[in-house]
Amino acid sequence: MSEDIQRLDKAVSSVFSLTRSEAKKAIRAGSVTVNGVALRDGALQVDPSKDVLALNGKTAQWRKFVYIMMNKPAGYLSATEDKACATVLDLLSPQDIKRGVFPAGRLDKDSEGFLLLTDDGNFAHEMISPKKHVPKRYVVSLDHSACDDDIAAFKSGITLDDGYLCMSAGLEILPDCRAAVTLVEGKFHQVKRMFEARGNKVLYLKRVSIGNLQLDDSLALGESRYITDEELLLLKGENV
């Protein structure tokens, strides 16, 4: 039996972004069809991964999980709640929040760029786990330009202030005291602390890609969109 089978009112509420009571009302009014047949009992079981649901004749795609690309602005915590500070969830729609999405990985409060949010716990684990080696690329502005010795040190593994030996990381020197860093792990403030260990300081940090998926540059700061099935493969580091 499909694990996606659920009550019609629950499925309608999730597919058409309605509250449960709005979904029940629409079903009672005969506005909902399942495979072309109007069903008026919200307790009936449907499989939204196979059955075609329509509201007032319009169909919509059911998503088992959602995967969101956000261009995170500075000033927001990568968390689901905080007493004092705004979180990245404050930038999402109520429907996505209701689904229980959470950030898969974090960016510091003052960092910007590609933040992945999902309600798929297994996928989030795959993205975050250092064992999976999913590369994340950051562009930083530095106090002063990085040098060739920094490239060699990043490659052989930087030791952080707490004694942690980082995995090998990529460093590319860019013009105007900027650099691009590629990490396959994500320790607390890692990029900033790696440059600190080299006597430099990160003044600005933006994540530009995860796996083989680049941040969509049409997303303004604070905007987000769903990741497509093809992009999901890129996220996992596959080439499509």
List residues binding ligand URA (CB under 6 A). Answer: 107-108, 111, 138, 189-192, 205
Q: Taking Cα atoms as reference points, which of 97, 106, 47, 55 lies closest to residue 76?
A: 106
Instruction: Give least dist CB 190 to ligand URA, A.
Output: 4
CB of 22 or CB of 108, closer to ligand URA: 108
Cα of 15 vs its chain's centroid, Å: 20
Instruction: Give least dist CB 194 to ligand URA, A.
Output: 8
Instruction: Give least dist CB 210 to ligand URA, A.
Output: 12
From the list 4, 47, 51, 108, the catalytic residue is 108
Burial (CB < 10 A; 0-12, 13-18, 19+), residue 31, is middle
HSE (CB half, 13 Å, CA atoms) of 167? Answer: 13
CB of 99 or CB of 198, closer to ligand URA: 198
CB of 67 or CB of 138, closer to ligand URA: 138
CB of 76 or CB of 138, closer to ligand URA: 138
Query: Residue 32 corresponds to which tokens in the numbers above?
Result: 């909902």
Whether residue 108 lies in the annotated active site = yes
Instruction: Give least dist CB 145 to ligand URA, A.
Output: 19
Bridge partners for 226 per DSSP: 68
Backbone angles phi, psi at 49, to 5 degrees: -80, -15
CB of 24 or CB of 136, closer to ligand URA: 136
Segments in 29-136 forming alpha helices (H)? 94-99, 121-128
CA-to-CA distance for 29 and 194, rounded, in angstroms?
61
* Cβ atoms 155, 169 nearer than 8 A: yes
Instruction: Give least dist CB 186 to ligand URA, A.
Output: 6
Q: What residues contact residue 78 under an 8 Å CB cut-off, 6+ apart?
A: 72, 87, 88, 103, 105, 106, 107, 108, 109, 115
Q: Give me the active site residues, please.
A: 108
